[in-house]
Chains A and B, each alone.
Chain A
Amino acid sequence: MNHLPVYDELDHAIDQLLGQADAETHNGPELAELLDLAQELRDLPRDNFKTRLRLELEWEAAGRTVSVAGNSAQQPVLAAKPEPANTESLPGLFGKVWSGYPVRRSNMALSFALHAIMVLAVGAGFVAVKSMKPQIDTHPYVSVHLQPYEFPVGNSEMHGGGSGGAHEKLPASRGFAPPSAREQLAPPVALQNREPKLPTQATVIAPEMTLPKSSEVGDPLSALRMASNGPGAGGGFGGNAGGGVGPGWGYGRGDGTERGCCDGLYAIGNGVSMPRAIYAPEPEFSEEARRTKLQGEVTLLATIGADGRPRNLQVVRSLGMGLDEKALEAVKTWRFDPARMNGRPVAVQMNIIVNFHLY
């Protein structure tokens, strides 16, 4: 059962068949049949070709394409086309040289169309942006700034003080309090010098308020009609010291002390907190101002009562074009957490600055 000589003889004949041996030898009849088979075997398909072609067909049947390039490093690409000079490795939309990439032209065309649409969309976007004219957004913007009103009087409780000024025996005569001012240059007197060398308006230090126009100055609370400055000292009208009008002390008006007035208003600061807006709808922008693109500030003077409601609204700095009215209209509806002194709500005056802006 020794086949070794046959193996060698067969292998040598196969070498000749495959061109790997030069010397031709005569083969026995027992090898002739095997060599016929070997001759046929030279055309065997490559390993895995059948399997990979089946895979391709299955994918195609499933409506897909598949790349089989590189499936076997040992073998050339499956279904490599015999164009010798063409080593194209990627599929093309046109032509049939796909080097093992079974590709549907419809997919390639669809991909090309989608990319073209994307490029056109991007280009159209650039053109649209370049041709677009810049527009100013006229959306109105309103900001509000609350500011303490700088009171013309001091920082203490304002119940202005009156005083008597000429050490007269009679109480102060009846009359109207003189106008208010930040500083008192001359106290009011009952008997005025008709020919003063330096005419000066007599004033008291108190918040501005509308007073009757009259030349008869005096204490509004007095019943005496005869001209008298009162028994106090320091000028003014009243029985105490100071330069004001009334029964109090100081340079104000009323029955309190120091400066100020009789209406119980407090100045913000020195223990008096600032009111805080708790309901503050923004003012509307007037159509006229919007059309003319008017911007600016409207400053309002307001008294914020102890109940948190704004009163006595006055326009301190006007803007016009209906914006003043819009500001007043809005601030009237506001509600505040009132100013407090020692935890007690008090009324104060404050500035409300309304900014009207177009952005």
Chain B
Amino acid sequence: MDAVANLAGLANLNQERRLIEAAQSDPSRFAELYESNFHRVYAFVARRVSNRDEAQDITSEVFHQALRNLGRFRWRGVPFAAWLLRIAANTLADRWQRVARAVEVQADEARMENSADSAEDPAVERRAMLFELVDRLPADQRLVIMRRFVDQKSIREIAQELGRSEGAVKQLQFRALETLRSKMTNTSEEQS
């Protein structure tokens, strides 16, 4: 079973390498790398900043930098996500240094952080998986989750927007969370 997992991992690495090489010769192919790493980078950043706007801003900067510097990337058998997270860590450190010297220690810690370890951070991976699963929810459940947790609207406001009863919206919220828990459990079991 471990051999099969190792083979699958190797196949994934080979596929990622081909994607990187394709994107280096044709930048429009960068979208595929972006799709497969967006939630991981965002989750990594969101754990380290205090608000959503800043997390989105830094995530955007990370991918723009990655696109601009893709030509310098050299394949060393490390997942592409590790390179992205190192860019994210440096970006965070630069930002913190600009904000105040008081957080210099925090910045140094972030800079010292091993990007490979960050890529394997289970909390980051779990959060990235969760965010990705939200995108796969049925449309009505996803809408309730986005309104409730991103826009922070009340059940009543969401019910008015959707033209449904508050009870129905609560049911959708519950089912969405149940679905996410179920899929998270299944995915974790598959990975382990």
Task: Point out residues on A near B: beta carbons under 8 Å.
Answer: 3-4, 6-8, 10-11, 14-15, 18, 20, 33-34, 37-38, 40-47, 49-50, 53-54, 56-58, 60-62, 74, 76, 78-82, 102
A42–B149 touching, CB < 8 Å: yes
Given contacts A3-B174, A33-B181, contact A43 B64 (CB under 8 A): no
Cβ B131 vs Cβ A45 within 8 A: yes
Judge whether A44 and B149 touch: CB under 8 Å.
yes
Residues of A within 8 A of B181 (CB): 33-34, 37
Q: Is the CB of A14 within 8 A of B173?
A: yes
Does B53 lie within 8 Å of A82, measured CB to CB?
yes
Do A53 and B184 touch across chains, with their CB atoms under 8 A apart?
no
Across the interface, which residues of B come within 8 angstroms of A18, CB to CB? 148-149, 152
Is B17 an interface position by the 8 A CB rule? no
Q: A40-B130, A46-B52 are in contact. Are A80 and B57 (CB under 8 A)?
A: yes
Across the interface, which residues of B come within 8 angstroms of A62, CB to CB?
27-28
Among candidates A4, A45, A76, A102, residue contacting B42 with C-beta atoms closer than 8 Å? A45
Chain A residue, CB-CB nearest to B49: A82
Q: What would 8 more interface pairs be, CB under 8 Å, given A43-B47, A46-B52, A54-B31?
A: A7-B174, A43-B46, A45-B131, A47-B150, A53-B60, A54-B38, A60-B64, A61-B28
Residue of A10, A41, A82, A102 near B174 (CB, 8 A) is A10
* A81 close to B57 (CB less than 8 A): yes
Interface residues of B in 112-148 (CB under 8 A from A): 126-127, 130-131, 134-135, 145-146, 148
The smallest beta-carbon distance between B61 and chain A, in angstroms, is 8
The answer to whether B134 and A61 touch across the interface, beta carbons within 8 angstroms, is: no
Q: Which residues of B contact A56 (CB under 8 A)?
A: 60, 64
CB of B83 within 8 Å of the partner chain: no
B31 in contact with A44 (CB, 8 Å): no
Q: Which of A20, A45, A74 is within 8 Å of B52, CB to CB?
A: A45
In the bound complex, do residue A20 and residue B150 qualify as a contact, i.e. CB atoms below 8 Å apart? Answer: no
| Least Cβ–Cβ distance between A153 and chain B, in angstroms | 100
Contact residues in B for A43 (Cβ distance below 8 Å): 43, 46-47, 52, 55, 127
Establish whether residues A78 and B56, one from each chain, have CB atoms under 8 Å apart when the complex forms: yes
In the complex where A45-B52, A46-B56 touch, is A11 in contact with B63 (Cβ < 8 A)?
no
The answer for the CA separation of A82 and B177 in the assembled complex, in Å, is 31
Contact check, A11 vs B170: say whether CB atoms are below 8 A apart.
Answer: yes
Instruction: Tell me if B167 and A61 are in contact (CB < 8 A).
Output: no
**Contact yes or no, B57 A57, CB < 8 A:** no
Contacts of B174 in A (CB 8 A): 3, 6-7, 10-11, 34
A348 CB to nearest B CB, Å: 89
The range of chain B's interface size is: 35 or more
Nearest residue in B to A76 (C-beta to C-beta)? B53
Known: A54-B35, A61-B67. A44 touches B146 (CB 8 A): yes
A102 and B171 contact, Cβ closer than 8 Å, known pairs A18-B152, A47-B146: no
Chain A CB within 8 A of B13 CB: no
Residues of A within 8 A of B109 (CB): none
Chain B residues, CB < 8 A from A40: 126-127, 130
B154 within 8 A of A: yes
22 contacts between A and B (CB under 8 A): A6-B174, A7-B170, A11-B174, A14-B173, A34-B178, A40-B127, A41-B145, A43-B47, A44-B131, A44-B145, A46-B52, A47-B150, A53-B38, A53-B60, A54-B38, A58-B31, A60-B68, A62-B27, A62-B28, A78-B60, A80-B53, A102-B64
Does B180 make an interface contact (CB < 8 A)? yes
In the assembled complex, which residues on chain B have CB atoms less than 8 Å from the CB atom of A41?
130, 134, 145, 149
Docked complex: B15-55 residues within 8 A CB-CB of A = 27-28, 30-31, 34-35, 38, 42-43, 46-47, 51-55
Q: Give every chain B residue within 8 A of A49 (Cβ-Cβ).
A: 56
Query: Which residue in A57, A76, A78, A81 is a CB contact (below 8 Å) of B31?
Result: A57
Write the nearest CB–CB distance from A95 to chain B, whole angstroms.
13
| A44-B171 contact, Cβ under 8 Å, with A11-B155, A61-B30, A82-B54 | no
B59 CB within 8 Å of chain A: yes
Contacting pair B67 A8 (CB below 8 A) = no
> In whole angstroms, what is the CA distance A343 to B127 when docked?
112
* Identity of the chain B residue whose Cβ is nearest the Cβ of A80 in the assembled complex: B53
A3 and B130 form a contact (CB under 8 A): no
A47 to B150, CA, bound (A): 8
- With A37-B181, A41-B130, A41-B149: A82-B57 Cβ-Cβ less than 8 Å: yes
Closest residue of B by beta carbon distance from A79: B60
Query: Please, which residues of chain B bring their CB within 8 A of the CB of A81?
Result: 57
Q: Are A53 and B52 touching (Cβ within 8 A)?
A: no
Those 4 A-B pairs whose CB atoms lie nearest each other, nearest first = A61-B27, A79-B60, A7-B170, A43-B46
Q: Give the complex CA separation of A41 and B22 in angstroms.
A: 34
Least Cβ–Cβ distance between B36 and chain A, in angstroms: 12
Closest A residue to B33 by beta carbon equals: A57
